[in-house]
Amino acid sequence: MSKALIRIALLAAVITGIVLAVLYRDQLSAEALQQWIGDAGSTGPILFFILLYAVATVVFLPGSVITLADGAIFGPVWGTLYNLTGATLGATLAFLVARYLAADWVEQRSGGLIKRLKNGVESEGWRFVAFVRLVPLFPFNALNYALGLTRIKLSHYIIASYLCMLPGGIAYTYLGYAGREAVAGGEGLIQKILLAVALLALVSFLPRLIAMFRRGPEVDATTLKQQLDSSEDLLLLDVRSAEDYIGEQGHVAGSLLIPLEQLKQRLDELSDYQERRVVTICRTDRKSAKAARILVEKGFADVHVAKMGMTDWLKCGYPVETQMPQEAKS
């Protein structure tokens, strides 16, 4: 069989699986899973949690039901092991399917923004995989296919996925276990519920923690002036209000104004700088630090904060403008 026919057959199998998953997804419930486990006997953990989780990942079935049911049936330790193994196996299968079906085609035809994003992802390698596993920027199932279109090493992808999905796997598996204990009225119920809540709180705090480590060092006024004068390919993002932008302090020529309060809604305007340097600036560095954290959490790869912002810029005697740029008026 030719390579083209194999690709067509594989694509047809994946599409068929996704269609069937959509049609029968209502039958995937915790009660149904428990019944299947009982019917499967000793092979239950392998057949209906590792393999089922893997298949569910490939065909875009939600893994949350399986994760919670796994914790309820097998407890926090074995449940976490089964969940992580199944999720990683499924993520790897989706990655390999995408790489086999379309990686060469994307390599030949990608350009512009797609090419920059692809190059940026590949340059970070396992670090990017670790980041998006710890900070869920994109839907898990779709992300696995998207990463397969890059040239990230398979071994790096698998190891980073398994290790960095561990915090979330532990938290949600334990939540399923705690839910079963709550229904059954087991001993130490309050402590188990409190631990489940604490684990979920830790997982929800991870994006902010990762953003703190991933953000680049602060840039002082002198360094920023040198970078701007040398025509470095960077975006100076001013996150003050429009009134402050043209007010007493003025603004740095060439900077882009997006007030902090509007930043999340206007991220599409910064898509060209997803993998390029961005320096945030405000009056000091309080708003700009918040803006930098938002950008890092949304996957911007090279974000810095202007140390003491316009205050230090003016102390150094550097020039400013007080008129709104023409493009901002239009």
How far is residue 232 from each of residues 45, 255, 278, measured CA to CA in Å? 55, 13, 11
Kindly report, residue by residue over 214-243, the tens digit of the pLDDT.
667 899 999 999 999 986 789 999 999 999
**Mean pLDDT of the 301-321 span:** 94
CATH topology assigned to domain 221-329: Oxidized Rhodanese; domain 1 (3.40.250)
Ordered by start, the domain boundaries in the chain are 3-212, 221-329
Strand, helix or coil for residue 27: helix
- Which of 50-64, 122-136, 202-216, 258-272 is predicted most confidently? 258-272
Percent of the chain residues topping a pLDDT of 90: 35
Kindly provide the b/e burial profile for residues 217-246, where b requires at least 16 CB atoms within 10 angstroms of the residue's own CB.
ebbebeebbebbeeeeebbbbbbbbeebbb
Residue 120, pLDDT > 80, answer: no
CB 59 within 8 A of CB 13: no
Q: Which of 272, 244, 274, 273 is nearest to 259 (CA)?
A: 244
**Mean pLDDT of the 115-122 span:** 64
Residue 103, pLDDT > 80, answer: no
- ∠ CA 298-111-103, rounded to 5°: 85
pTM above 0.75, yes or no: no
pLDDT averaged over every residue in the chain: 83
Q: Which of 210, 104, 94 is nearest to 147 (CA)?
A: 94
**Mean pLDDT of the 92-119 span:** 72
